[in-house]
Each structure stands twice: as structure tokens, then as C-alpha cells.
């Protein structure tokens, strides 16, 4: 059940509502309120609210309305919020902020799959900035299929990402894999990435949702997740208090090993109907082949993606992780240029 709070509610009226909700739910914990684009809301576990309690909640002067949508997800739904969410990235560190979603032009995030060394990261960061990318990516904690593959530099890698932001002014995105590591990773990044393998790691989703500064979260689609499962994962983050969720289509598993995954382009316009959250595409992990990255980048922009996340390496053939799908800075520059042209075309400016 979703409770929308009156914009003019006083602190006494709110406190009264909270006391009632804690009594009804039997919760000792404070109830989470979330500031959405259009209103402030409280999401409650519906199984414990009977009709009498519902009436008591409705009678509270702080309450504007209460309702439950027919869709399994609520706060993530376009039916709940008609206005597209736009999220400004890079407001908590010293860098050049960039807005994603809504009417903003597509945002290009790029960098190596993994931070491998200070030299590799700083030179790639400079090159992707030069190529026109607006956000630097780089994995410090890597979820690898084999325990014998390079696992990332961990905290050392996070410090290098902070340095790369200082050098280039680009906001930074990196993956967090454990609920207890959210605060540590958040000290160094501007977007917390939840990877495909962790899309349904509910303690992690709640942990990024509860993050005090509500740092934007890039939520990648699970390896074989349905759109409903994906939006429910986003719902976990929003219901826990953080509405700044960006969805990322990174390809889904199929039977054919010819490509690493199948980029589900259909989900982009579909998600724009179902949800107000920004949606970006990852042409690198979806294809697994660098020669397919430029064309699938164009296709995703044509399908109205709010941005792209692309793996770029200064020396792709020597990358410690995902070199086969990594492009060079020169190839990235071309994609940035084509994205601008396509965007102008789609806005009717040419
Ligand atoms: C990544 O972005 O480096 C990554 C591991 O992606 P995914 O979670 O989509 O596999
Ligand atoms: Mn990768």
C-alpha cells in the first residue's frame, strides 16, 4: 500500500501519522518516506493492513491519498508518476554534473570493464573524456564467473576512480556487490552500479535504497529476468527510500552462443510506457563483440534509450577483463558523435 503525504503537512501531523503506522505495523523501526518527483510517499507491506486500519490511516490529516495499483510494482510505475524522472549525477563530489532521463539528451558512460592500474585508468579516463563521454565507468569489485579470473583491485581501485574524477571532472560509476560495502563504495562514486548477477540480491537493493545521500543507482537487468522482476527490484530500492534508479538493459540469456547475450531493444520503449525511470542500454555486455557495439549503440538510441554504458580500453586486446567487447577511444568518439546526430534528428532539429 502506498500513502501519499500532503505537501503542506506539518511536522506534528507527520509525527502523528508515523506513530499510528508504527502501531499498526508493529514496527519498531521508523517508517521510510521517499521523495518522488511529484510527491512524498510511504510504502507499506500490504499484508498487515486491514480495512479498519486503512480507514484510520486515511483519516490522518497528513495523508493525501492511499492506494494500491494493479501492477505488482507501485512507486516505479508510470501510473503512479506520469512525469519522467530525471536524475542529476555528480552532485556529491567535485565534478561536472550531468542529468539523465526526462527530456535530457542521452548520456554516454564509458571506461574500462575493470580498473587494472593507475596508469590504465587515468589514461583511459582522459581518452573517454576527450571522446565526449560524460561519466567514467570502471569496476573495482568484479563479479567474475571463475574464481581464477581477475577479481578487481577492490578499495585500491576505488581510490583510483576518485583520482580519475579529480583529473577529468567526470562523475564516476562503479559496482557494489555487498550490502555492507555500500557506504565505502559511495564515498568514491557518483552512481552505485548493481550488476546483473545481483539484480535480485534483496539485502543489497535495500542497502542502496537506504543510502543516506540517495546516490543514483544503476540497476542492470538480471541475466534472465523478466521486466516485472526487474521493475520489482527497482521498487525495492525506491520503497527503501531512494527514488534515483536508472535501469540498464544489458542483454538477456538465449540459447545461441554466437553473441554473449541478446540485447532486448524492445524493452526500452516498453519500459518508457511502464515506468517513469530512465532507461539506458549496454551494447558491450549484450553483444560481447566489439564490432557490434557501434551499430547496437545507434539502435538503442533510436529506440529512445536515455543513455549508453560502453566498455572502452586504451589497449582492448590486453584488457584483464572483457577485452573482446571493449572498443578504443577513437571508436567511442564516433559513437558519441553519431549519438548527437541521431538525437538531433529525433528531436526534429535537422
Ligand atoms: C559490468 O558492467 O562490468 C558488468 C559486470 O556487467 P553485468 O552486471 O551487466 O554483467
Ligand atoms: Mn565488463
DSSP 329-348: HHHHHHHHHHHHHHHHHHTT
Q: What is the ipTM of this complex?
A: 0.99
Taking CA atoms only, the protein residue closest to ligand 1 atom 4 is 195
Task: Give the residue from 55, 74, 62 showing the smallest Cα distance to 18.
Answer: 62
Identify the H or E element spanning 21. Answer: helix 11-25
For residue 327, the cross-strand partners are 312
The pLDDT score that the predictor gives to residue 19 is 93
- Angle, helix 293-302 to helix 329-346, in steps of 10 degrees: 20
Q: How many CB atoms lie within 10 A of CB 63?
A: 18
The pLDDT score that the predictor gives to residue 30 is 78
Which residue among 109, 112, 113 is best mutated to probe the pocket of ligand 1, counting the most ligand atoms within 8 A of its Cβ?
A: 113
Determine whether 152 is exposed, middle or buried from the number of CB atoms within 10 Å of its CB (0-12, 13-18, 19+).
buried
The answer, yes or no, to whether any atom of ligand 1 lies below 6 A from the CB of 195, is yes
The answer, yes or no, to whether any atom of ligand 1 lies below 6 A from the CB of 113, is yes
The answer, yes or no, to whether any atom of ligand 1 lies below 6 A from the CB of 285, is yes
The answer, yes or no, to whether any atom of ligand 1 lies below 6 A from the CB of 276, is no
Task: Give the residue from 99, 100, 109 showing the smallest Cα distance to 129.
Answer: 109
End-to-end CA distance of the chain, in Å? 46
pLDDT tens for the chain, 350 residues: list them.
899 999 999 999 999 999 999 999 888 777 899 999 989 999 987 767 888 999 999 999 999 999 888 899 999 999 999 999 999 999 999 999 999 999 999 999 999 999 999 999 999 999 999 999 999 999 999 999 999 999 999 999 999 999 999 999 999 999 999 999 999 999 999 999 999 999 999 999 999 999 989 999 999 999 999 999 999 999 999 999 999 999 999 999 999 999 999 999 999 999 999 999 999 999 999 999 999 999 999 999 999 999 999 999 999 999 999 999 999 999 999 999 999 999 999 999 88
Give start and end residues of each alpha helix (H) in 42-153. Answer: 51-58, 118-131
Cα 62 → chain centroid: 31
Q: What distance in angstroms lies between residue 148's CA and the mean position of ligand 2's atoms? A: 16
Amino acid at each position: 500500500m502506498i500513502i501519499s503525504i500532503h505537501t503542506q503537512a506539518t511536522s506534528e501531523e507527520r509525527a502523528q501519522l508515523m506513530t499510528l503506522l508504527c502501531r499498526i505495523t508493529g514496527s519498531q523501526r521508523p517508517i521510510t518516506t521517499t521523495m518522488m518527483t511529484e510527491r512524498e510517499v510511504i510504502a507499506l507491506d500490504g499484508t498487515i493492513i486491514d480495512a479498519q486500519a486503512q480507514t484510520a490511516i486515511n483519516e490522518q490529516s497528513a495523508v493525501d491519498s492511499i492506494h494500491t495499483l494493479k501492477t505488482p510494482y507501485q512507486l516505479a510505475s508510470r501510473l503512479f508518476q506520469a512525469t519522467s524522472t530525471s536524475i542529476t549525477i555528480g552532485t556529491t563530489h567535485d565534478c561536472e554534473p550531468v542529468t539523465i532521463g526526462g527530456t535530457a539528451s542521452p548520456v554516454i558512460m564509458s571506461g574500462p570493464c575493470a580498473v587494472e592500474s593507475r596508469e590504465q585508468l587515468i589514461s583511459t579516463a582522459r581518452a573517454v573524456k576527450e571522446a565526449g563521454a560524460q561519466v567514467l565507468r570502471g569496476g573495482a569489485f568484479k563479479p567474475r564467473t571463475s574464481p581464477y579470473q581477475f577479481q578487481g583491485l577492490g578499495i585500491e581501485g576505488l581510490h583510483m576512480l576518485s583520482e580519475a574524477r579529480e583529473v577529468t571532472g567526470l562523475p564516476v560509476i562503479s559496482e557494489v556487490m555487498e550490502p555492507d560495502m555500500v557506504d565505502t563504495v559511495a564515498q568514491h562514486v557518483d552512481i552505485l552500479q548493481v550488476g546483473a548477477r545481483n539484480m535480485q540480491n534483496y539485502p543489497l537493493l535495500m542497502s542502496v535504497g537506504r543510502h543516506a545521500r540517495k546516490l543514483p543507482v544503476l540497476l542492470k537487468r538480471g541475466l534472465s529476468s523478466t521486466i516485472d522482476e526487474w521493475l520489482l527490484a527497482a521498487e525495492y530500492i525506491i520503497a527503501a527510500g531512494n527514488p534515483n534508479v536508472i535501469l540498464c538493459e544489458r542483454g538477456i540469456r538465449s540459447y545461441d552462443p554466437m553473441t554473449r547475450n541478446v540485447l532486448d531493444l524492445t524493452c526500452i520503449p516498453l519500459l518508457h510506457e511502464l515506468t517513469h525511470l530512465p532507461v539506458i542500454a549496454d551494447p558491450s555486455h549484450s553483444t560481447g563483440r566489439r564490432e557490434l557495439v557501434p551499430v547496437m549503440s545507434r539502435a538503442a538510441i533510436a529506440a529512445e534509450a536515455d543513455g549508453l554504458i560502453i566498455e572502452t580500453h586504451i589497449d582492448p586486446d590486453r584488457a584483464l577483463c572483457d577485452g573482446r567487447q571493449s572498443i578504443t577511444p577513437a571508436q567511442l568518439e564516433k559513437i558519441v558523435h553519431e549519438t548527437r546526430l541521431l538525437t538531433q534528428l529525433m528531436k526534429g532539429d535537422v
